[in-house]
């Protein structure tokens, strides 16, 4: 007898054997139980998840002579004819090869006649979205009011191409993509029945490679059995799929956690000699980072797929925000990887991006000296004879360092920094001048041009002052008789001074003057900004 592939040999023959589609099988079994069968069903979903299989099981169930728990018995004459492909009342059509309206009309001409063997004549139309517009119109009337002995079962991977007039006449079921764990479990069951040796790690890789399709997973399993000479091993699956073993990926993650760029690039160079799929390597790294994030939030989390010692080390070495950042950079890098000059350089840039954008620790930030503003001058020599634009970068206002409670209270700017306020409350404080402070009250002079809205900002400022000084101070805010230099005006003046310094630096730059004299270039107004 000819060999039968696993996807066909182990195709489910009743609802109980379906994998991962309980929401569909349960609904259909209840319909059979209460005799509430619709005249038209539409099964949608991606390839290889069981649309046609569910339709065939339903066609067999509604004609079965003796249902067992509302499942086809598999023993009556109808079930045997179904299994052998000899049931005359099942008309199965591939719409992709019969798209013309004449084919549809010929198909429906016999719908008026009673069934030959079963209770119902079943029309199973696969890939129904491939029918032409005229074919849908020819089908529409019969689909809406079919004879009582006719049932329509439609299956498609693209329901958006089906006219809404057809969709509204069908009971629609959307089949789900299968999880890798579900595909893995089904493979283990099948290999146990077939008495074929396997390694669990190999089936995990095949389950992920199946991408939600059990049929694709079983096809890969067939290929792995042949590739492994009768057994399914992790080494054979890695070679067959062109993936990389887990150990090099673990080494790269350890180098990433240690912030060791040299070791990371050396490991990438070693892996590149195997001509791997770098997109798959990035996917595996994202899976490990996902497990690390789970372990950081749930210390009792147990994962059987990856090395627990590695996960524990990464969870302790990396900060949770670093893990989230690496995961996001990896996701974006996976999207942009096809745009890179070559896969290796694209993967290296993703790894270097993780190292570059890793936030510094608070200790390192505290030790970092504050740099004065730097103005970037235009030095390009390949500029068109129309304009010269400076590469402008926005400056970020440095946050004032916090002041201890022992600082002199007369410096209002330092007091504002120590209050740890923000938003509208900080804006109010910046537009005030300290008039005086004692044990009972704090007196502020408000800039007359400041438009104050509501009293919530005042309340927040009073609470912050009370917490800062540790005493119940009363806040008194009055308008200034004459406008004085408030912190807000000081910040504005400092910005204007930096801006003017940047403009003067560009205008006095020798390279800029040379470009103006040689090419008649000009500086675009508003294009110069200071750079810290």
The answer, yes or no, to whether residue 305 has pLDDT greater than 80, is no
Spatial CA neighbour of 209 closest among 200, 221, 197: 221
143 in any annotated domain: yes
Give how many domains the chain has, as a whole number.
4
pLDDT of residue 42: 96
267 shares a domain with 193: no
Do 293 and 234 share a domain, yes or no?
no
pLDDT at 362 over 60: no
Pairwise pLDDT comparison (247 vs 254), residue with the higher score: 254
Give the tens place of pLDDT for each residue, 60-69. Answer: 999 998 888 8
Give residues with Cβ within 8 angstroms of 335, minimum separation 6. Answer: none
> What is the chain's mean pLDDT, rounded?
83
Q: Is the pLDDT of residue 246 over 80?
A: no
- Alpha-carbon span 221 to 224, nearest angstrom: 5
Does residue 155 lie within any of the structural domains?
A: yes
For residue 276, being part of any structural domain is answered with yes
Which is more confident, 418 or 150?
Answer: 150
Least confidently predicted of 112-126, 185-199, 389-403: 389-403
418 and 331 both lie in a single domain? no
Does 221 reside within a domain?
A: yes
Domain boundary among 241, 263, 291: 241
Average pLDDT for 274-301: 88
User: Same domain, yes or no, for 307 and 416?
Assistant: no
- From 402, 496, 488, select the one nearest 445 (Cα to Cα): 488
Q: Which among 263, 209, 221, 271 is positioned nearest to 246, based on CA atoms? A: 271
Report the pLDDT averaged over residues 216-243. Answer: 88
**Cβ proximity of 162 and 133 under 8 Å:** no
Neighbours of 69 (CB within 10 A): 11
- Domain closes at, from 205, 226, 241: 241
Give the residue-averaged pLDDT of 125-133: 91
Measured at the CA of 184, the angle between CA 253 and CA 188, to 5 degrees, comes to 130
User: Per residue in 505-519, pLDDT tens?
Assistant: 888 888 888 888 888
- Between the CA of residue 257 and those of 252, 260, 289, 311, 323, what are the distances in Å? 9, 8, 11, 11, 10
Going by C-beta distance under 8 Å and a sequence separation of 6 or more, which residues neighbour residue 85? none
The arithmetic mean of pLDDT across residues 481-510, rounded, is 82
Residues in Cβ contact with 196 at an 8 Å cutoff, skipping those fewer than 6 apart: 225, 230, 231, 232
Same domain, 49 and 152: yes
Is residue 516 in some structural domain? no
Kindly state whether residues 127 and 217 are assigned to the same domain.
no
The domain that contains 114 carries what CATH number?
A: 3.40.50.300
Out of 174, 201, 232, a domain closes at 174
Does 373 fall in a domain? no
In this structure, are 70 and 93 located in the same domain? Answer: yes
Q: How confident is the model at residue 398 (pLDDT cuts 50, 70, 90)?
A: very low
3-state secondary structure 99-154: CCHHHHHHHHHHHHCCCCCCCCEEEEEECHHHCCHHHHHHHHHHHHCCCCCEEEEE
Looking at the fold, whether 262 and 230 belong to one and the same domain comes out as no
93, 205, 232, 452, 518 from 199: Cα distances, Å = 40, 10, 6, 71, 73
Separation of alpha carbons 500 and 492, rounded Å: 12
Regarding whether 250 and 237 lie in a shared domain, the answer is no
Instruction: Note whether 308 and 450 are same-domain residues.
Output: no
Helix (H) or strand (E) holding 29: helix 22-34
Angle at the Cα of 131 from the Cα atoms of 127 and 132, rounded to 5 degrees: 160
181, 514, 515, 518, 521 from 389: Cα distances, Å:
56, 14, 11, 16, 9
Rounded CA gap, 446 and 478, in Å? 6
Which residues of 447-502 form beta strands (DSSP E)? 474-479
Return the CATH number at 451. Answer: 3.30.300.150
DSSP states along 293-317: HHHHH-TT---SSS-HHHHHHHHHH
Statement to judge: residues 165 and 33 lie in one domain: yes
Q: How far from the centroid of its chain's Cα atoms is residue 211's Cα?
A: 15
User: Could you tell me the CATH number of the domain that includes residue 260?
Assistant: 1.20.272.10
Let me know: does 67 contact 118? Beta carbons within 8 Å.
no
The answer to whether residue 383 scores a pLDDT higher than 50 is no
Mean pLDDT (whole number) for 3-16: 90
Q: d(Cα 203, Cα 342) in Å, to the nearest integer? A: 30
**Is residue 384 a part of any domain in this protein?**
no
In a domain, 58, yes or no: yes
Tokens representing residue 263 in the block: 């070791």
Structural domain including 205 reads 180-241
Distant-in-sequence, close-in-space partners of 17: CB < 8 Å, separation ≥ 6: none
Quick one: 48 and 140 in the same domain?
yes
């Amino acid at each position: 007898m000819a060999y039968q592939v696993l996807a066909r040999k182990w195709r489910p023959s009743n609802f109980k054997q379906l994998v991962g589609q309980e929401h569909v099988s349960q609904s259909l079994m209840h319909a059979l139980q209460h005799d509430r069968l619709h005249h038209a069903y539409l099964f949608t979903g991606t390839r290889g998840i069981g649309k046609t299989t569910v339709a065939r099981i339903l066609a067999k169930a509604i004609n079965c002579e003796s249902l067992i728990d509302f499942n086809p018995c598999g023993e009556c004459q109808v079930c045997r004819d179904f299994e052998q492909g000899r049931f005359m009342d099942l008309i199965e059509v591939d719409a992709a090869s019969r798209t013309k309206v004449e084919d549809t009309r010929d198909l429906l001409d016999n719908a008026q006649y009673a069934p030959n063997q079963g209770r119902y004549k079943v029309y199973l139309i696969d890939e129904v979205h491939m029918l032409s517009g005229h074919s849908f119109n020819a089908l529409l009337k019969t689909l809406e009011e079919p004879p009582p002995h006719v049932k329509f079962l439609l299956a498609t991977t693209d329901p958006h191409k089906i006219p809404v007039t057809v969709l509204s006449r069908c009971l629609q079921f959307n089949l789900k993509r299968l999880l890798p764990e579900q595909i893995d479990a089904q493979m283990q069951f099948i290999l146990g029945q077939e008495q074929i040796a396997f390694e669990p790690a190999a089936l995990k890789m095949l389950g992920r490679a199946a991408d939600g399709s059990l049929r694709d997973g079983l096809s890969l399993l067939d290929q792995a059995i042949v590739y492994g000479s009768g057994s399914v091993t992790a080494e054979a699956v890695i070679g067959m799929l062109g993936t990389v073993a887990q150990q090099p990926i673990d080494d790269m993650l350890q180098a990433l956690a240690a912030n060791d760029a040299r070791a990371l690039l050396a490991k990438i160079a070693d892996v590149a000699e195997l001509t791997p799929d770098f997109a798959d390597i990035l996917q595996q790294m994202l899976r490990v980072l996902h497990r690390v994030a789970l372990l950081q939030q749930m210390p009792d989390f147990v994962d059987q797929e990856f090395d627990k010692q590695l996960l524990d080390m990464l969870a302790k070495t990396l900060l949770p925000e670093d893990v989230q950042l690496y995961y996001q950079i990896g996701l974006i890098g996976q999207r942009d990887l096809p745009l890179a000059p070559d896969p290796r350089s694209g993967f290296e840039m993703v790894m270097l991006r993780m190292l570059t954008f890793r936030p510094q620790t608070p200790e390192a930030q505290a030790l970092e000296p504050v740099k004065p503003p730097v103005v970037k001058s235009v030095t390009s020599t390949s500029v068109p004879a129309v304009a010269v634009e400076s590469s402008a970068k926005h400056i970020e206002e440095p946050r004032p360092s916090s002041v201890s409670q022992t600082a002199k209270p007369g410096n209002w700017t330092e007091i504002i920094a120590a209050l740890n306020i923000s938003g509208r409350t900080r804006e109010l404080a910046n537009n005030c001048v300290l008039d005086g402070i004692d044990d009972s009250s704090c007196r502020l002079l408000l800039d007359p041009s400041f438009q104050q809205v509501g009293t919530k900002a005042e309340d927040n400022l009073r609470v912050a002052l009370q917490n800062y000084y540790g005493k119940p101070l009363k806040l008194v805010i009055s308008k200034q008789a004459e406008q004085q230099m408030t912190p807000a005006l000081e910040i504005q003046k400092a910005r204007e001074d930096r801006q003017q310094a940047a403009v003067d630096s560009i205008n006095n730059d020798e390279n800029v003057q040379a470009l103006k004299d040689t090419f008649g270039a000009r500086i675009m107004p508003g294009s110069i900004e200071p750079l810290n």
